[in-house]
Structure 1
Amino acid sequence: MPVTESHPQPGPAPDTAIPGPAGLPVLGSMLDLRRDSLSTFLTAQREYGDVVRLEAGPPGLRSVFHAVFAPEGVQQILASQAANFRKDHPLYEEVRQAFGNGLLTSQDADYLRQRRLVQPLFTKRRVDSYASAVTAEADTLVDRWRTTDGGTVDLVTEMNRLALRTVTRILFGLDAEQAVDAIHRCAPVINAYVVRRAYVPVKVPREWPTPGNLRARAATDELNALCDRIIADRRAAAGTTGDDEAGEGDDLLSLLAAAGNEQDGSLDATEVREQVLIFLLAGHETTATSLAFTLHLLARHPEEQARVREEIDRVLADRTPTAADLDRLPYLTQALKESMRLYPAAPVVSRRAVEATEIGGFRIPAGADVVVAPWVTHRNPHLWEDPERFDPRRFAPEREAERHRYAWFPFGGGPRACIGQHFSMLESVLALAMLLRSYELQAVDEEVPVAAGITLQATGPARVRLRRRERVGE
């Protein structure tokens, strides 16, 4: 098995052929990647090393791409040489077609302008003001679970609903309820369509009236119409302000609609809608994944669950947590980070090389599709001892300081790092604290199957039994 060192080591000359699986004579690795891409990448790293060449598809339609797994290579692609690795991969083009050219997919001047306009909405002070929306939705779930006390719930379904209700409440304010059902119904249809189109050798034109095209178009039209109507209402409403630090009651959509500066102007209605759709995609599926797997891992490890709960009880007692409690719950945060190591919400990240580049001693050609995979790097046994074991102590501050910056990168990195990472951590820690203070969880399903889509997708349930805990004052 090749060894991945934590520091660059002398390697083969850049003109050495990049190793990789031969796959089937006609289809290469296509069937393996379609069947289980995450296991295929993991096996490739362990058999061929930290830079791997994969081929997929029949001759004449074959895709060739390079996977980079060592943290040093990941840093080159996402940070130190980020300008040379663009979001020109077919997956991003399909996301762009489905959700518009928001922060996730835009590039160059468009991206810089959008980032400058949107960044003030994600300052720490602004994000901390969303804490009350997070705790209100978590409290609603705590109450609802009382009707299933002693029963079983599926964390995948429950956390998806919680994260979706939270992000729509923050985005749309009083319009959250009417938006939840539409998003819950439409988003999975669009996501599946995007992933399917991104990885087929021949794409049917979107304009053709196939069943798949029609379903995706109807779902997209419904979400666009919903966002356009709410945006129009916001623009027409009196009292909308562009103050970057406006009061806690201002929903994110109102702030987006009012965002502007002398250099960049403001976002028009279409641009606001595109940002909203990306926030809905990135802001609920990713956080739902982190919440579900953190709770499920704690349910499978009762001793860790007890340690986390002792911290929550000691810090919070019976009061509602606030943003200030984020730093007061370090072990809960460590458990969350360890869950994000094992189940990163973005398990594979794609780029395309502009110019030929040397990575790990190999030459990546110009125009090559390149992927980095948190799913694989987070499981490298030379970076993580006993990598499949759930151990929150890995993220004690002194141990974090010893690791390469890109040994753990669930939020990406470099200039395209996730703009919402502080919000994701805030939402996750506060929601977990409220749920774990109120309930003990016992795992029903020991393992949860997953697959890579736009985000990590659980393909089976993560069921737990609930036992209600008595709180102070009850």
Structure 2
Amino acid sequence: MAVDAKAEAGGEIPLLAGAPVVGSLFDLKGDTLATYLRAQRQHGDVVRISVGPPGLRAELHCLFSAEGAQQVLAGQSANFRKDNPFYQEIRDSFGNGLLTSQDEDYLRQRRLIQPLFTKRRVDGYARAVAAETASVITAWQGAADGVVDVSDEMTHFALRAVARILFGTDVEAAVDVVARCVPVLTDYVLRRGYSPVNIPRTWPTPNNRRAAAALDELYGVCDEIIAVRRRTADSGEGGEGEDLLSLLAGARSSDDGEFDASELRDQVLIFLLAGHETTATSLCFALHLLARHPEQQRRAREEITRVLGDRTPEAADMDRLPYLTQVLKEAMRLYPAAPVIGRNAVAAFESGGYTIPAGASVILAPWVTHRHPDYWADPERFDPDRFTPEAEAARPRYAWFPFGGGPRACIGQHFSMLESVIALAMILRAYEFEAVDTSVPVSTGITLLTQGPTRCRVRSLEG
């Protein structure tokens, strides 16, 4: 049960016990998610965590309740900024795109991009998702011993799907470079984002040189595709492209102008990063959980067969597959792709009976809130029926927030759900799953990361 730790506003916020000199530094480095979960279980919904030695110490103010999440992301969102070192490292590596930009930059970008993510526009990508899923299904026919690592496979699938939607026919030129370079940059961002002191990026250390080479290669392939696309558009040879890059290149308004080449690249890189890692995580764990729970797998497959028969799923089928959608939402509850969210408070504010000071580093943790015993009975149990319409209506809005919320909610959440439901429907219709690895350790990166294989034995149901 959660500890009742509320106090009069201005009272001392409980502090998670740590080591005498470095506080909880090694706890967070060793197992970030377990440390946040322990903080909530021991001290309640508002907890301080001290990190680092004196003189370099950071103090994290953690809000674990649904009400705290709603306050930061929606109700008082203007008071919270992405000013922490971690977001700055993402900006420096992946550009100032929609995920990382702020203030007028963000508002301008959002206004230009929002028309490209209407439901009608996103629904038009269903055919591309289905085609990429069909390739996965065919490839698994030759799996050695019938075993596939769903983490690797879904990462590859989601990258190809988002690259195909971004670049259209230029997908092959980008996939290999992104698959090779993004992990190098992600590891670099994590090392620097969580370090109390960093040397300049320009110093020729092995890590700096490796990251710079990966960044140059990633920038190069994106710049080349963008330049070719603009030349063909200007000459009229490319026709009216419907891939997302063509739409981004054509996005303009009288008030906001249009994206220049470097701004286009920033948006493309952020979409590649956020658009494939998050969906891959959700699909990986949906399949892994179903592989460990045969009754729920059977129920999902029965719904798919009843609704789809042998036909390829379409965007309209999302509403016809409620149980499959519940499976996906429950997987995202247990394994949220963004398990930790950071903000900086501009002004002091009150939350949960405490006063958090101006300038505080504020932490929200979907990983913890999604396991909060006040909202979720037996929270570690996999139960898709938690997401029936009646059950969802009975919970606070921010008891579940895998896509964030408020003015900065993920612009691609409908696309992620569409892609995931279509892919799950086709894969579960084609294969039966049995877990080989019954336990999969995870850690925090820019998104949730698996630590080791996530293998399933697949048995073909086709033919």
C-alpha spacing 1:404/1:240, structure 2 compared with 1 (3 Å): farther
Q: Secondary structure at the match of 2:31?
A: helix
For the aligned residue pairs, the C-alpha RMSD in angstroms reads: 1.4
2:398 to 387, 393, 406: 406
1:358-411 CA-to-partner distances (Å, cap 9, x unmatched) read: 011111100010010000000011210000000000000010000000000000
Return the match for 2:89 from 63, 72, 94: 94
* AA aligned opposite 1:30: L
Distance 2:228 2:252 in 1: 19
Cα distance in 2 between the residues matched to 1:19 and 1:174: 55
Which position in structure 2 is the counterpart of 1:57?
52
1:442–1:107: structure 2 CA closer, same or farther, 3 Å change rule?
Answer: same
| Structure 2 equivalent of residue 350 of structure 1 | 342
> 1:149, 1:215 → 2: CA distance?
34
Give the equivalent residue in structure 2 for 1:270: 262
Matches within 5 A, 1:2-21: 2-3=2-3, 11-21=6-16
Q: Deviations over 1:203-257 (max 9, x none)?
A: 011010011111111111111111101000111113799xxxx97x611001111
Whether 1:280 aligns to 2:272 is yes
User: How far 1:11 sits from its partner (Å)?
Assistant: 3.6
1:154 partner amino acid: D
Distance of 2:291 and 2:228 partners within structure 1: 44
Structure 1 residue 452, shift from structure 2 partner: 0.5
Query: Among residues 118, 122, 133, which one is paired with 2:117 in the alignment?
Result: 122
Matched letter for residue 358 of structure 1: E
Q: Is 1:457 the equivalent of 2:452?
A: no
> What is the aligned length?
461
1:108-119 to structure 2, matched below 5 A, reads 108-119=103-114
CA distance in 1, matches of 2:281, 2:355: 35
Letter in 2 for 1:146: Q
Q: Report the Cα distance in structure 2 between the residues aligned to 1:361 and 1:210, rounded to whole angstroms.
A: 47
Paired amino acid for 1:143: T
Residue pairs, 1:14-413, within 5 angstroms: 14-148=9-143, 151-238=146-233, 250-413=242-405
Shift of 1:260: 0.3
Residues 238 and 355 of structure 1: is their aligned pair in 2 closer, same or farther, counting only changes over 3 Å? closer
Aligned: 1:436 with 2:428:
yes
TM-score of the two chains, using structure 2 as the length reference: 0.98
2:2–2:373 CA contact under 8 A, matched in 1: no
- In the alignment, residue 45 of structure 1 is paired with which amino acid? Q
Residue deviations 1:274-333 (CA, integer Å, cap 9, x gap): 000000010000000000000000000000000000000001110000001010000000
Q: Distance in 2 between matches of 1:153 and 1:240?
A: 45
Preserved contact between residue 173 and residue 221 of structure 2 (Cα < 8 Å): no
User: C-alpha displacement at 1:12, in angstroms?
Assistant: 1.1
What is the rounded CA distance, in whole Å, between the counterparts of 1:190 and 1:2 in structure 2?
38
Residues 11, 22 of structure 1: alpha-carbon distance in 2 compared, 3 angstrom cutoff: closer
Tell me, yes or no, if the aligned pair for 1:103 and 1:115 is still in contact at 8 Å.
yes
AA matched with 1:208: W
CA distance in 2, matches of 1:392, 1:301: 11
Question: Take 1:303 and 1:196, find their aligned partners in 2: how far apart are those partners?
Answer: 42
After superposition, what is the alpha-carbon deviation per residue over 1:77-99, rounded to whole angstroms, capped at 9, x for unaligned? 00000000101111111101111
Gaps of 5+ in 1: 5-9
Classify the secondary structure of the residue corresponding to 2:390.
helix
Q: Unaligned regions of 5+ residues in structure 2, if any?
A: none
Counting aligned pairs with the same residue, the percent is: 65
Instruction: Tell me the secondary structure at the aligned position of residue 132 of structure 1.
Output: helix
Following TM superposition, by how much is the alpha carbon of 1:117 offset from its aligned partner in structure 2, in angstroms? 0.2
Q: What letter corresponds to residue 156 of structure 1 in structure 2?
A: S
Instruction: Name the SS of the counterpart of 1:238 in structure 2.
Output: helix
Q: Write the mapping of 1:410-429 to structure 2, written as runs, cut at 5 A.
A: 410-429=402-421
Contact 1:240–1:258 (8 Å) recurs in 2: no
TM-score (structure 1 length as normaliser): 0.95
Aligned match of 1:7: none
Corresponding position of 1:469? 461
Question: Is the Cα contact below 8 Å between 2:74 and 2:405 reproduced in 1?
Answer: yes
Q: Which amino acid aligns with 2:28?
A: L
Q: Residue deviations 1:145-186, cap 9 Å, x none? A: 111275101001000000000000000111101211100000
Equivalent AA in structure 2 for residue 33 of structure 1: L
- Give CA deviations for 1:22-64 in whole Å, capped at 9, x if unaligned: 3011010000000000000000000011000010111111111
2:161 partner amino acid? T
Secondary structure in structure 2 of the residue aligned to 1:237: helix
Deviation at 1:20, TM superposition (A): 1.8
Counterpart code for 1:136: A
Q: CA deviation at 1:2?
A: 3.2
Q: Is the 8 A contact 2:2 2:374 kept in 1?
A: no
Letter aligned with residue 200 of structure 1: S
For the Cα contact (< 8 Å) 1:134–1:166, is it kept in 2? yes
